[in-house]
Amino acid sequence: MMDPGRLLDRLARYAGSPRRIRQTLRTLLQARAVSRSPLFDRAWYLRQNPDIAKSGESPELHYLFAGAAAGQDPGPGFCGAEYLELNPGAAASGLNPLVHYERVGRRAGLRVSRLQPLLGNGSADPDWRFPTLEEHQAAFPAKVAAIRARVAAGARIKSLFLVSSASMFPARPLLDAMRRSPRHDARIAVIPDLRGIASGDPHDAMRRAEANLARAYPADALVHVSRSASGHWSDPVADFRADIVCYPSPYNLSSWRCNPRRAIGDSFLPIYANYGYPCTSFAAPVMGLANYACMWKVFLESAAAQDLYRSVSPIGGANGKVVGSIKMDALPAQAPRPDGRKCVLVAPHHSVAGGANGLMALSNFMRLADFIAELPGKFPGADFLFRPHPFLFPVLERPSLWGRARCERWRERFLAHPNARWTDGGDPLRDFAAADAIVQDCSSFLADWSFTGKPCCYILDDLAEAPRKFNAIGLRCLEGCRVATDAAGIEAFIRNVVMAGDDPEAGPRERVRAELAVNWPHAADTALSAIERELLPGP
C-alpha cells in the first residue's frame, strides 16, 4: 500500500487546493479498501503484472488507477469485469469494482461470479470460493469425456479461435488444419482489445481484422461479436457452443467473456499457442501467469521452451505439449517477390514507452527515427518495407509522446522515397517471404525470422544489455544475427550483407534454424493429432 508519508507529502503540496486534498483522501480510503480486501492477493497481482513486480510501484494503487481499467484482476477469486456485468449498479457507480464490492456488494450479497450459487433469499452464497487452478485442471477429464461422447454420437468437434488482430494470429495453421478435416467445425471470432494499449474505439480495429480475415475465409467462418446498447460485449463462446477455445494471448485483454480466466468453471477446453517464441527474459514471468495454467493444452515450440515453462508454471507445466512453432507452418506457402530487387523489411517494436522493468524496453525507434525515415534514400537500389508492430504508432500517437500529427509527418517523410512501402498489418509471413533481409528490434520476430534462413540485423541499445533482456533461446538466436547499436551498424549491414552478399552469420544462422524448426512445417498437424487422440473415439 502507498506509504502514509508519501500521502502526507502530497497533502502538504495540495494544501492550497481543497479539491486535490479530497482526491488524495479518496485515494487513501480506496487503497485501504483494496489492501484490506481478502480478494486482493498482493503476491498474485505482482506475478500477473511482471512490469511492476520490481518497479517499487504500489500494486494497490496500480490496480486502482491502471490495472482494473486494463482488465486486470486483484486476485484469483475476483474478476472485476464479470462483477460489473453481473451487477449493473456497481458499473453505474463509477467505483473501482473491488472497492464497490467491499463497500457495498459484500453486505448486499452481490455475486462476484456467474459460478457463485444463490441462496434462497436471492443473495450470493458467502461460503463459495472460486476454483483453484488444480481443481480446474482436475475437471478436464470429465469435460473431455463429455465431448468424446458427443463426437462418438456423430457430432463434430466445435473449435473457436479468438483473434484480436489479424497480424497476431499464431494458431492460424491449426485453424486451417481443422477446417480441412470433416471431424471439425472450426471458426473465428474477432474480439475487442480492451487493454488500453491502442486508444480509440475497439470497433475500428475489429472491423479491420474482420475485413482482413474475410479475404481468406468464407463468411460463415466468422462468429460475429457485437456490443449492446448497455456496453456489454456478446459471448461468442456461448453463441457458438464451442468445445475448444483457442486464445490469442495469455493476457486478460478483452471482455471477461473472452478472457482465459473465464475458462475456469466452464465446459469448454481452452488451448493456447505462443504468439511470440519465448526468447526474452520477459518470457519467464509471462509463462508463469495463471492464464497459462488454466489452459487444457499449451502448445510449445521446443524442449527448451518446455523446460522454461515447467520452471515457472504454477502447475509445473503439466499442460505443456511440445509440437513446434505452429504459426511458422505457413511460411513455406508464402510467395516470394517476383522481381530481382533486394528488399529490406524494417520491423520496429512498440515498447517506446518502456515497461516491464526494462526487460521489454526493446524499441530503438525513437532514437533512430530520423535515420530510418531517410534510410530508403541511402540505398536507392533496394526496396524498403516498413512493418511496425501493430501497437507502435497507437502508442506514439499519445500526446505524451509524439501525438498524431507528428506520426503522420513521419509516415509522409518515409513514404516520400520511391523505394519505400508501408504495411499496417496482415500476415507477417507474407512480408517475410517478400524480403531478403530484416532490420528489427521486435522480440517476437527474432526467432521467427530464423526460420527464413535470411540475414537479420538486430538492433540493441547496448550490447551489454543482451544477457539481461534475452534468455538462452534468445541469445542463441542472436548468434545468427548481425547486431547493431547505431545507424552506422545498420548501414554497414545493408551495404555489406544485403547488397554485397558478405554474410558471415550464415553458418550460425542455419544452426539456429535447425534447433528451432521442431516438426516444421507440420507443427499444426502435430497439435491436431494431440487433440484428436483425446477427443476422437477409438477404433
Q: What is the mean pLDDT of residues 26-55?
A: 85
Question: Which residues touch 487 (CB under 8 Å, ≥6 apart)?
Answer: 368, 371
Mean pLDDT of the chain: 91
Q: What is the mean pLDDT of residues 18-43?
A: 82
- The per-residue pLDDT for 65 is 84
In percent, the amount of the chain with pLDDT more than 90 equals 73
The per-type count for the chain, helices as H runs and strands as E runs, is 26, 12
3, pLDDT greater than 60:
no
Q: Residue 3's CB: how many other CB atoms inside 10 A?
A: 9
- Among 263, 271, 266, 314, which residue's Cα sits nearest to residue 289? 314
Q: What is the mean pLDDT of residues 62-91?
A: 89
**CATH node for 134-325+521-535:** 3.40.50
Question: Which residues touch 440 (CB under 8 Å, ≥6 apart)?
Answer: 345, 346, 347, 348, 349, 446, 449, 456, 457, 458, 459
C-alpha–C-alpha distance, residues 31 and 34, integer Å: 5
484-538: pLDDT as tens digits: 999 999 999 999 999 999 999 999 999 999 999 999 999 999 999 999 999 998 7
With bands split at pLDDT 50, 70 and 90, how would you rate the model's confidence at 417? Answer: very high
335-516 folds as Rossmann fold (3.40.50)
With bands split at pLDDT 50, 70 and 90, how would you rate the model's confidence at 58? Answer: confident
- The per-residue pLDDT for 361 is 80
Same fold? 134-325+521-535, 335-516:
yes
181-191: pLDDT as tens digits: 999 999 999 99
363-387: pLDDT as tens digits: 999 999 999 999 999 999 999 999 9
Q: In what order do the strands lie in the sheet with 420-422?
A: 420-422, 382-386, 342-347, 437-440, 456-459, 482-484
Q: What is the mean pLDDT of residues 280-284?
A: 91
Q: What is the mean pLDDT of residues 267-279?
A: 95
Domain extent listing, the chain: 4-129, 134-325+521-535, 335-516
448-460: pLDDT as tens digits: 999 999 999 999 9
Per-position b or e across 70-99, b if 16+ CB within 10 A of its CB: bbbbbbbbbbbbbbbbbbeebbebebbbbb
- The per-residue pLDDT for 1 is 47
- The per-residue pLDDT for 14 is 44
Q: What is the mean pLDDT of residues 411-435?
A: 93
6, pLDDT greater than 90:
no
82-130: pLDDT as tens digits: 999 899 999 899 899 999 999 999 999 999 999 999 999 999 999 999 9
CA-CA-CA-CA torsion sign (52, 57, 60, 62): negative
In percent, the amount of the chain with pLDDT more than 70 equals 92
With bands split at pLDDT 50, 70 and 90, how would you rate the model's confidence at 38? Answer: very high
Higher pLDDT, 202 or 466: 466
246-255: pLDDT as tens digits: 999 998 888 8
299-309: pLDDT as tens digits: 999 999 999 99
299-342: pLDDT as tens digits: 999 999 999 999 999 999 999 999 999 999 999 999 887 778 99
- The per-residue pLDDT for 196 is 58
